[in-house]
Structure formats: structure tokens, C-alpha cells
Amino acid sequence: QVQLVESGGGLVKPGGSLRLSCAASGFTFSDYYMSWVRQAPGEGLEWLSYISSSSSTINYADSVKGRFTISRDNAKNSLYLQMNSLRVEDTAVYYCARDPNPPTGTRYFDYWGQGTLVTVSS
């Protein structure tokens, strides 16, 4: 069965950096687009970034563009999110999600990990 397991969250000071990882199993990772989505405490969902199966196409939400970098290692079945210049408002649970890459070309998410909490505070 599809499994996505995030790690790397924790407490970081404003201006600091953190790298999140997502370990995928139960499917052919290299066939799928992947995304990161976050949820601030008590708030709704916010899409952050996606990466194509070959890493040739990458897109970011305006809120993280220039600060966050998505990447993947298909040999390791892993997705990453490098987060720099972190702000208090980046505090959230960060989810990795699989994108089924449908023929429509519309990005969406069919499986999600359980998330990892990132807290940005001094």
C-alpha cells in the first residue's frame, strides 16, 4: 500500500533553516509528481510546491518562492523540502502528497503522509 512518511520537523529560530524529508513506498516513486502542502495550527491547507517525476518541472506558491526548494531522489524514493529564512508564520504541519499526474494535467493529491510539525519561534 502507498506509504509516505515525513521527517525532519522541529523547533527552529526565525531566520533559520530546516530540511524536511519524505520517504515513499508501496508505489513506483519515479512515475509520480510529488507535492508539499502545509497546515498552520487551527488553519486550512496551503499548497507549497510540486516537482515532476524527473525533476524537470518545479513550481512554488508565492508565499515560499525564493525561500524553499523542493527536490527528489528517485533512487532513494525520497522527496525533500529545504526551507531557508524561516518565519514565525511558517509554523505548520508539513505534508508530502502524491500527485497522480492525470491526463488532464491538473495537479492534485491522492495520497498524503501523516505530516511533520515545524515550529518557528525564538
Partner 1 sequence: SYELTQPPSVSVSPGQTARITCSGDALPKKYAYWYQQKSGQAPVLVIYEDTKRPSGIPERFSGSSSGTMATLTISGAQVEDESDYYCYSIDSSGNHKVFGGGTKLTVL
Give the residues lining the site for partner 1 (CB under 8 A): 44-47, 50, 59, 61-62, 95, 102, 104-115
CB nearer to partner 1: give 31 or 110.
110
Cell representation of residue 107: 495537479
66/105 with CB nearer partner 1: 105
Q: At its nearest, how many Å lie between partner 1 and the CB of residue 47?
A: 4
Chain length of the chain: 122
103 or 122: CB nearest partner 1: 103
The answer for residues whose C-beta is within 8 angstroms of residue 97's C-beta and 6 or more apart is: 4, 34, 35, 36, 37, 109, 110, 111, 112, 113
Cell 488532464 belongs to 104
**Measured distance CA(24)–CA(111) in Å, rounded:** 11
User: Smallest gap, in angstroms, from Cβ of residue 20 to partner 1?
Assistant: 15
Query: Minimum Å distance from CB 74 to partner 1?
Result: 23
User: In angstroms, rounded to a whole number, what is the distance separating the alpha carbons of residues 59 and 48?
Assistant: 8
Nearer to partner 1, 62 or 122 (CB): 62
Q: Max alpha carbon distance in the chain (Å)?
A: 45
Minimum Å gap between C-beta 107 and partner 1 is 6
